[in-house]
Chains A and B, each alone.
Chain A
């Protein structure tokens, strides 16, 4: 049982404050959704928690099982169990998915420990079967020339292989047609377990029809202005973001 605590977090890009005092706790086994309009700080939150160097945390804290992760490098946070599924995954020309994941798995092993290649491929292929992926996929260079759907599936495959404690999923539904969305959602659902906490960031309600959250939070101007269960997402869908602006945001 693990716990991710975001406490009164303030994040800036350069001089500009983006996240302005956000508090949220995610426990293993829970799926949280953060919804909100563009430019409200959702992606900034995810990247800041993962340790992106362009984002400055000006106050507040992020604790993983009670220990602050803010002093940790992005790769240390990753190895501690934090996974960010990117909205725009980077292309790494010439590096195959299989080799990349192999390096990432090796990075989690102790000094002097050697990765068992046969066991690694066995596990990789079983995860690909779980996600209904073609094995040829792993010999392609990471995200290089991938379609939007392929990029997102590649993120899910990495998540499956790295078995994080917490996954931050940044606009996983963006750029996907309905078929691709269903495939990706099936993948995430297949990975849902009591060992994994998920924080899903989305602009639209439609993703939440496929990945049903336990908790829904509405974000506005760098803060959470309302929290509830999955019915909040439907209410938001029905009433629109104007409702948030007029009803939920304190004047």
Chain B
């Protein structure tokens, strides 16, 4: 591994994308990579030295290094969860992954200060005009570090702290340490341990008591180096009565060799606070996307995850809410689209830990071609609680006979003072429906795209406008490539 910050860079090449053998997808359409110079690079492979290097480049306090080294031990000790999850996980080669890259730039504050190269990437991402306006309020994670951020100044007037996690560790160590790793302990699962060992980037947000952040805070994430795993760490705290909406959108360049994305997102909603966390992601077909997301909702607090997964080779993600205080509410709205060569293993976890807590899960999955969707849900209501309610709905749409969908709901409800409802459905886009739409002049691809958009429509309308536009565009792109 390299100890020098300027050597051993591996700029990605566009040619690799063409070699990707996953069928039915237009590889060129999502090829966003171009040459970049990486100022810091931890080389490939994962050892204690890698972690010491990351920690020293980031000039971290000793406790963080200890935290990371402990996490590495736990990561190594934990087996792959292949006793319940797909064996495809065994194909991740941890020795070939790059665990840290940064641009070596300070985060920018205004659009003018953003380097042309980065602007060019946004251009290539094809962000609609409507959203470009929004870029004034965007925090974009460019590889490991936030490359651009100015919304911070705006919200700072309300006393909101909005930093990347490295900055937050330096500037607000006490606040960070108080909540960090409490919702998702290092040893929660193998990949939360990995993230805890090598995390960099991600956001830290603190919203003070009673402050309602008027517009959503945003972050764009992308991966831009071959074999480079991205391990962002996000921690959001909404103090009593505070309200916040956070949105992340992910697009990634397409590479021939597998990449790993393993984030950890922790949310804390104190008494009466509301947090809404929205994700629309479109990973390349070779990305392993193994993310742990969980929030704790205190008394009368509300946490809502809106999670939309498109692309990736394998996504495993089960956003959860621990309903810790009386009358807390938790919600997961999830959309997953599995195209050829993709497996979306997604779901939700609702852990009721106080009286009169309510939770709602609505999960819709679309499987196309060889694509595979799996829903896993956990709803836990212990016997001693009263007045708890859960509603779970899972709907699957199959787009041809090769598609596969599985549902594994684990609902543990004890005691008779609580109620649960569970509904599941599987439907198909039939030949008759496609013919009907074609008869009105739509191509087969347009017809499929329209039925998929129709299937998720009731959920998509819950997204902010520009995100539902983005979602529609992503679905169109996926469906165009899936026909013929």
Contacts and interface: CB of A to CB of B under 8 A. Distances in A.
Interface of A: 50-54, 73-75, 77-79, 83-84, 86, 89-95, 99-101, 103-104, 107-108, 141, 158, 162
Contacts of A162: 440-441
A118 to B, nearest CB: 18
How would you classify the secondary structure of chain A's contact residues: helix, strand, loop or mixed? mixed
A100 B440 contact: yes
Contacts of A158: 440
A73 B439 CA distance: 9
Contact of A75 (B438, B450, B451, B454): B438
Interface string B389-413: 0000000000000000000000000
A162 B442 CA distance: 12
25 contacts: A51-B438, A53-B431, A54-B431, A74-B438, A75-B438, A75-B439, A75-B443, A78-B438, A86-B439, A89-B436, A90-B433, A90-B435, A90-B436, A92-B437, A92-B451, A94-B455, A95-B451, A95-B457, A99-B450, A101-B440, A103-B442, A104-B442, A107-B440, A107-B441, A141-B454
Nearest to B451: A92
Given A73-B438, A73-B443, 5 more contacts: A51-B438, A95-B450, A95-B453, A103-B446, A107-B440
Contacts of B451: 92, 95
B442 to A, nearest CB: 5
Contact of B432 (A51, A84, A90, A103): A90
How many B residues touch the partner, as a band?
Answer: 20 to 34
Interface string B80-92: 0000000000000
Contacts of A101: 440
Nearest 10 Cβ contacts at the A-B interface: A94-B454, A94-B457, A95-B454, A90-B436, A74-B438, A104-B440, A78-B441, A75-B438, A107-B441, A90-B433
B113 interface: no
A94 B453 contact: yes
Contacts of A54: 431
Nearest to A52: B435
Given A92-B450, A94-B456, A75 B444 contact: yes
Contacts of B441: 75, 78-79, 104, 107-108, 162
B13 interface: no
B462 interface: no
B477 to A, nearest CB: 16
Nearest to A159: B440
Nearest to B443: A75
A64 to B, nearest CB: 14
A107 B431 contact: no
B47 interface: no
A196 B447 CA distance: 26
Interface string B447-465: 1001101111110000000
B430 interface: yes
A143 to B, nearest CB: 9
Interface of B: 430-433, 435-444, 446-447, 450-451, 453-458
Contacts of B442: 75, 103-104, 107
A78 B439 contact: yes
A93 B450 contact: no
B295 to A, nearest CB: 29
B282 to A, nearest CB: 21
Contacts of A107: 440-443, 446
A91 B454 CA distance: 11
Contact of B435 (A53, A95, A141): A53
A78 B437 CA distance: 10
Contacts of B437: 90, 92, 100
Contacts of B458: 94
Contacts of A95: 450-451, 453-454, 457
A79 to B, nearest CB: 5
A90 B443 CA distance: 16
A230 B230 CA distance: 75
B448 to A, nearest CB: 11
A37 to B, nearest CB: 24
B439 A50 contact: yes
Contacts of A73: 438, 443-444
A126 to B, nearest CB: 19
B377 to A, nearest CB: 23
Contacts of A84: 439
Given A107-B446, A141-B454, A78 B436 contact: no
A142 to B, nearest CB: 8
Contacts of B450: 92, 95, 99-100, 103
With a 10 A CB-CB cut-off, give which of B431, B440, B451 has the most chain A CB atoms.
B440
Contacts of A89: 436
A107 B441 CA distance: 6
Contacts of B446: 103, 107
Nearest to B435: A52
Contact of A92 (B444, B454, B456): B454
Contacts of A74: 435, 438-439
